[in-house]
């Protein structure tokens, strides 16, 4: 395999943060020596998450075995995922905002047609449903654990307790028509065909759409980590990958 220099468009603060976490983790384990130091292991993990490169390619570039690369990345991802903000912490941060924006996104996975529970009829593809919370400026604030793609947004939000948590904290939440019936503090556009709505209702829906559109920035931020654009791992690992990316993104922008 040919090896060439490459780059990773990730903030250096994210690299320093992950390297520090790995150093502390190794110190706690009493690790004496490894093929890669904490900084190189952090870089290996960032390259995998950001660029979505396979383990074999990364292993060749870093001069280690494929199994070792997998173990190093899995260790770092698990460490990061454990630091992800809980729903309570995300809602506490949301309470400091005028309102938040909620939407679901589908993370595509490599599955065959027989895997019906993972098939999203809305997106016409297999994937995992992740609920995203953004602030009024479209900055990523939180991301839920991943559910099968067949789960609708309103059901996912309820299963995670997002709607109830926002209501208890009296946080206004803007969402789209996929959350019809949510109630509480969730603000929705008027339902129905455009030509059946009154002039006032159409104006409200236009204003609502402009506000809700900012959540797309948060979703784009999440998917700027290219590994999440096409997941080829076990579905049981998706949540930890999303949480790891969330922690790195919050670290880089915090």
157 or 184: whose pLDDT is higher?
A: 157
Residue 113 has a pLDDT of 59
**Is pLDDT at 253 greater than 80 in this prediction?**
no
Phi, psi of 184 (to 5 degrees): 55, -130
Confidence bin at 176 (pLDDT 50/70/90): very high
Mean pLDDT of 225-237: 92
Q: Tell me: the pLDDT tens digits for 191-205? A: 989 989 999 999 999
Dump the DSSP string for 41-105: HHHHHHHHHHH---HHHHHHHHTS-HHHHHHHHHHHHHHHHTTSPPHHHHHHHHTTSS-EEEEEE
Residue 73 has a pLDDT of 98
226 or 252: whose pLDDT is higher?
A: 226
Residue 189 has a pLDDT of 94
Q: Tell me: the pLDDT tens digits for 21-79? A: 999 999 999 988 899 999 999 999 999 999 999 999 999 999 999 999 999 999 999 99
Q: Kindly compute the dihedral angle of the four CA atoms of residues 139, 142, 147, 151, in this order, to the nearest 10 degrees.
A: -60
Residue 121 has a pLDDT of 84
**Is pLDDT at 254 greater than 70 in this prediction?**
no
Q: Which two tokens mark 76?
A: 């770092």
Q: pLDDT above 90 covers what percent of the chain?
A: 83
**Distance (Å, whole) CA 147 – CA 178:** 16
DSSP 8-state assignment for residue 228: G
Q: Tell me: the pLDDT tens digits for 90-136? A: 999 999 999 999 999 999 998 665 567 888 888 888 999 999 999 99
Residue-averaged pLDDT of the chain: 93
Residue 28 has a pLDDT of 94
Residue 218 has a pLDDT of 96
Residue 52 has a pLDDT of 94
**Is pLDDT at 186 greater than 90 in this prediction?**
yes
Q: pLDDT above 70 covers what percent of the chain?
A: 98
Residue 98 has a pLDDT of 94
**Distance (Å, whole) CA 249 – CA 59:** 24
């Amino acid at each position: 395999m040919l090896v060439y220099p490459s780059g990773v468009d990730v903030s250096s603060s994210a690299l320093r943060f992950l390297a520090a976490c790995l150093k502390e983790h190794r110190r706690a384990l009493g690790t004496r020596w490894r093929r890669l130091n904490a900084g190189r292991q952090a870089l290996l993990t960032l390259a995998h998450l950001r660029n979505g490169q396979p383990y074999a390619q990364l292993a060749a570039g870093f001069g280690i075995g494929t199994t070792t690369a997998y173990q190093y990345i899995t260790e770092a991802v698990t460490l990061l995922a454990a630091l992800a903000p809980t729903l309570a912490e995300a809602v506490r941060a949301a309470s400091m905002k005028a309102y938040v924006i909620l939407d679901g996104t589908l993370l595509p996975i490599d599955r065959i047609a027989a895997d019906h529970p993972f098939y999203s009829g809305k997106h016409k593809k297999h994937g995992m449903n992740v609920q995203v919370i953004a602030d009024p400026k479209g900055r990523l604030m939180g991301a839920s654990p991943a559910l099968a793609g067949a789960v609708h947004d309103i059901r996912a939000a309820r299963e995670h307790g997002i709607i109830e948590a926002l209501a208890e904290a009296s946080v206004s939440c803007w969402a789209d028509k996929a959350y019809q019936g949510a109630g509480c503090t969730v603000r929705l556009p008027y339902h129905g065909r455009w030509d059946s709505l009154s002039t006032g209702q159409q104006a409200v829906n236009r204003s609502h759409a402009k506000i809700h559109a900012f959540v797309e920035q948060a979703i784009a931020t999440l998917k700027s980590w290219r590994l999440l654009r096409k997941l080829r791992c076990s579905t049981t690992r998706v949540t930890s990958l999303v949480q790891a990316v969330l922690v790195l993104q919050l670290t880089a922008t915090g």
